[in-house]
Structure 1
Amino acid sequence: MTQAAHELTVTRYIAAPPAKVWHAMTERMEEWWCPKPWRVRIIDVEWRAGGRSSMEMLGPNGEVMPNDGIVLEFVPGKRWVSTDAFTAGWVPAGPMMVGIWEIEPEGDGTRYTARARHWNAADCARHKEMGFEAGWGAAADQLASLVEG
Structure 2
Amino acid sequence: MTLELDPATDLSFTRTLAVPRRLVWECWTVPKHIPHFFIPAPHKVTSVEIDLRVGGRFNTTFDVEGNTMENPGVYLEVVPEEKLVFTDAYSEGWKPAAEPFMTAILLLADTPDGGTSYTAIARHRNPESRKTHEEMGFFDGWGTVVTQLEAYAKGIVA
Instruction: Name the residue aligned to 2:117.
Output: 111
Q: Which residue of 1 aligns with 2:95?
A: 91
Segments of 5+ residues of structure 2 without an aligned counterpart are none
Q: Report which structure shows greater RCO (CA 8 Å, sep ≥6).
A: 1
Q: Distance in 2 between matches of 1:139 and 1:43?
A: 16
Which secondary structure state, in structure 2, belongs to the residue aligned with residue 113 of structure 1? strand
Other-structure match for 1:15:
18
- Structure 1 match to 2:58: 53
How far apart are residue 43 of structure 1 and its match? 3.3
| Displacement of 1:102 | 2.0
For residues 104 and 42 of structure 1, the distance between their equivalents in structure 2, rounded to whole angstroms, comes to: 28
TM-score after normalising by structure 1? 0.93
In structure 1, the gaps of 5 or more residues are none
Structure with greater strand share of residues:
1
2:69 maps to which of 65, 68, 74: 65
RMSD: 1.4
Number of equivalences: 148
Percent sequence identity is: 37
